[in-house]
Amino acid sequence: MDVSHRLPRTLTLALLASLLTLAGCDKPEDKKAATEPPPATAQEAEVSGTLIYREREALPQDARIHVQLLDVSLMDVPATVLSEKTFSSDGRQVPIPFTLTFKPAGIDARHHYAVRGEIRDADGQLRWTTMQQHRVDLSAGSPPPVELMLGKVTSGEERVPAEEVLEE
């Protein structure tokens, strides 16, 4: 037998045996942990979307935007606020994006939830508000983005200082 042919075959077999040995050292739970998504019970989830209105009117430079996530399940009591955010328009015009965070652990699948929004001027005068309920399904965590259609508020509303109503 020729030794030159056995040497490469011997090296090939040794290399193959080494690879099989190393493959046996792999831990399946490590692979599983690396490929699984994080647990579904996240600490926080988000509702995001935009505020828009139909009127061809510019927002005041100093407009204040207020958005709320509400539990609207009970009929004869005020809605429970789950999350809210107030911010300045900083000269931006519609559509204005927003994001509200909430805790999924506090969501009851039997309840109904809605997002509402409003825009006030620097004097606290309500200029636009949601005129209908914009429901969101929170049972599966973060819902798809919502578009809040706001309606123009006619004059005659009570003026409230913006810092009292819409504190950051």
Q: For residue 75, give the CATH number of its domain.
A: 2.60.40.2990
The confidence score (pLDDT) of residue 31 equals 44
In a domain, 31, yes or no: no
Q: What's the rounded Cα separation, in Å, for the pair 57 and 145?
A: 24
**Domain span at 107:** 45-152
In a domain, 2, yes or no: no
Residue in 152, 96, 101, 154 with CA at minimum distance from that of residue 128: 152
In a domain, 86, yes or no: yes
Averaged pLDDT for residues 37-44? 58
In a domain, 35, yes or no: no
Q: Mean pLDDT score of the chain, rounded to an integer?
A: 81
In a domain, 11, yes or no: no
Q: What's the rounded Cα separation, in Å, for the pair 109 and 137?
A: 9
Q: Give residue-wise pLDDT tens across range 119-148.
A: 999 999 999 999 999 999 998 889 999 999
Q: Give residue-wise pLDDT tens across range 43-66.
A: 899 999 999 999 999 999 999 999
In a domain, 20, yes or no: no
The confidence score (pLDDT) of residue 140 equals 86
Burial of residue 128 (CB within 10 Å: 0-12, 13-18, 19+) is: buried
In a domain, 4, yes or no: no
Q: How sure is the predictor about 155, in pLDDT bands with cuts at 50, 70 and 90?
A: confident
How far apart, in Å, are the Cα atoms of 118 and each of 39, 108, 124, 140? 35, 26, 11, 26
In a domain, 76, yes or no: yes
The total of structural domains in the chain comes to 1
Q: What's the rounded Cα separation, in Å, for the pair 59 and 80?
A: 29
pLDDT at 39 over 70: no
The answer to whether the beta carbons of residues 51 and 150 sit under 8 Å apart is yes
